[in-house]
Amino acid sequence: MEREGPLHEFWLDDKGGGTCVLHWVGARKYGDIVARAFPGPCPAGIARDADDRYDFRVAFTGCGAPLVEKIENFLCLLLGRVNILDGLTECYALDFHKRPGEDGKLERTLIGRTVRAAKPYDRKWNRGSRDSAARIADWMAAFALSHPAYAAADMVISVPPSNPDKEFDLPSFLAEETAARLGRPYAVLLKKTRVTRQMKDIESGRAKMDNIRGAFAVEGEPDGKSVLLIDDIYEGGYSMNEAARVLFGAGAAAVLGLAATKTWREA
């Protein structure tokens, strides 16, 4: 369903006189991401870069030196994150859940290990650690505070759990804690309309889509609002994209996705 669109490299050329030109290697949408994060400067159209070293370029007017520095710091933040190209306005994971180690085998990242500790995979041996979950919320809030569009979200919500009766739902906890750290309202905006199976128990992509399609309903007023949507692990993105589809249908102006980790391979 989705493809990663990492920012590999960039060059921000301050031309002086309030004009700067951003050159980058990565997905085209980074020009839009910067324009959304910093709505003051006036961007020209995104174009293919004439320099073979970069993919795209866009010029911004109305940029003083302090703003150029802020844009540069923002882009440095994005260099270390997983940008996911999907049906959301923007979507990131703080890191992959696992990455290839020196021997080529997948190994959990620091954030992946922390999610593993926080998530109640099996109540017989792991009920979920709120201390580990709070650490993830700190990381999520730090990212959101450094991303102007995310920091300005009107509300923070989570993807509803497959089982609403579970003792501890990690995405809900992360959303509530992240909202508190951002000083933004936490809302239970999405409700399940029916019981769904856990995605990890379903093999095919088509079956995953059928499992989640039409399973969410909006209870609230997202019309014209910017919504920060939280999940713990982004696998195939079926739940998050279905949630975004419903939110956009209810009039949300933007759905900004943030997951703690993304699986190395699409699921």
Residue 143 makes CB contacts below 8 A (sequence gap 6+) with 77, 81, 92, 94, 150, 258
Residue type, 195: V
Classify each residue of 74-101 as buried b or exposed e, where b means 16 or more C-beta atoms within 10 Å of its C-beta: bbeebeebbbbbbbbbbbbbbbbbbeee
pLDDT, tens digit, for every residue of 224-267?
Answer: 999 999 999 998 889 999 999 999 999 999 999 999 999 987 54
Strand partners, 234: 262
pLDDT reported for residue 211:
76
> Do the Cβ atoms of 234 and 261 come closer than 8 Å?
yes
Categorize the per-residue pLDDT at 125 as very low, low, confident or very high, splitting at 50, 70 and 90.
very low
Helical axes 238-249 vs 205-212, angle rounded to 10° = 40
As a whole number, the mean pLDDT across the chain is 90
The separation between the first and the last C-alpha atoms of the chain, rounded to the nearest angstrom, is 9
262 alpha carbon, distance to own chain's centre: 10
Q: Which pTM value belongs to this model?
A: 0.90
Largest CA distance in the chain: 64
Residues with Cβ within 8 Å of 227's Cβ and at least 6 positions away in sequence, in order, are 153, 154, 155, 156, 157, 189, 247, 252, 254, 255, 256
Is residue 198 predicted with pLDDT exceeding 80? no
| pLDDT value at residue 193 | 82
Instruction: Give the class (CATH, top level) of 3-80.
Output: alpha beta
Q: Which fold has domain 90-262?
A: Rossmann fold (3.40.50)
Q: Which pLDDT belongs to residue 61?
A: 94
Locate CATH 3.30.70 in the chain: 3-80
